[in-house]
Amino acid sequence: MADRPIQNCQVRFQFKCPKQWDSLRETAEPGVRLCGQCHKQVYLCQSTLEAAEHARAGRCVAVPVGLVPPSEPGTPLHGRELDRDVLRLVPLEVCRRYGLIPVSRSGSSLVVAMSDPTNIHAIDDVKFLTGYDVEARAASPQDIQEALERAELETSGYVEMGVMVCEEPPETDQFEGPVGKLIRKVLLDAQQKQEALIQFELTDSGMVIRYGLDGSQRDAMWVPFQLRLEVMRQLRHASRGIVDPEGQLHILMRGQRIDYQVRFNPTALGEEAVLQPLPES
């Protein structure tokens, strides 16, 4: 079986090589590398199947960080009790898309069972949405599907990301998908902290979200480049500010209606959206 390149991810030694090899990033050379210490050929593999085949042949093998080697057992899900707080960390829509489910957390790490633990895009998305370091663990697609069905029952009555809404949300509450869940998460966090202002500002590398008034602002979150325009689009659509530079946003969070005045201001790198909660009527 031919080895495929590992792009933009660290790799580590597994199985055979007794020496420590510094983590590296795959550049132009796919497949075989030489260990700088033991001078053996090292096979870079993107799946546990590839790694197992090379390991059985007595070869040195390197795999992406977080990939469970085939010598380690996968994560059993059948009959496992699901932690509702952990389940709410990752939107079910994301879980279904990537074939994964969060199973436990410890400190800054989140253990995620995945049908394909080499899917770097899925790992990056979960890390971004949750803020946790992701430890990918192998599980069968059937076990994950069964666990997701149980998870939907466990979390019924809740919107993903832990934000509760009524069964008939307001007409202007039109946030969609993972980006919509992100916006909800930010608004809920700011509301709980009683922040007087939320700023979504485009940058050359993504978007920065800040809390607080001028002179006392602090960074709250960074949004990747590929999501920044979708965040602004949903904010404009939800606040009816598609044409006008100002609008209003209404959203129900935990049974409470929150109203925001929304302003869209031009900046050197595009624009910013400034949300300010309105007094309760």
Any bridge partners for residue 212, and if so which? none
CATH 3.30.450.90 fits 162-277, yes or no: yes
Cβ-count burial of 118 within 10 angstroms (0-12 exposed, 13-18 middle, 19+ buried)? buried
Would you call 134 helix, strand, or coil by DSSP? Answer: strand
In the numeric block, the tokens 């069968």 are attached to 140
In the numeric block, the tokens 């597994």 are attached to 14
pLDDT per residue as tens digits for the range 249-260 = 888 776 778 889
Q: Cα 269 from chain centroid?
A: 25
Q: How many other CB atoms sit within 10 Å of the CB of residue 134?
A: 23
261 in Cβ contact with 246 (< 8 Å): yes
pLDDT of 197 reads 93
Range(s) within the chain of domains with CATH label 3.30.300.160: 84-156
128 in Cβ contact with 186 (< 8 Å): no
Would you call 22 helix, strand, or coil by DSSP? Answer: coil
Give me the CATH code for the 84-156 domain, please.
Answer: 3.30.300.160
113 in Cβ contact with 77 (< 8 Å): yes
Range(s) within the chain of domains with CATH label 3.30.450.90: 162-277
pLDDT per residue as tens digits for the range 76-125 = 676 677 888 888 888 877 888 889 999 989 888 898 988 887 677 788 88
Q: Which comes out higher in pLDDT, residue 164 or 116?
A: 116
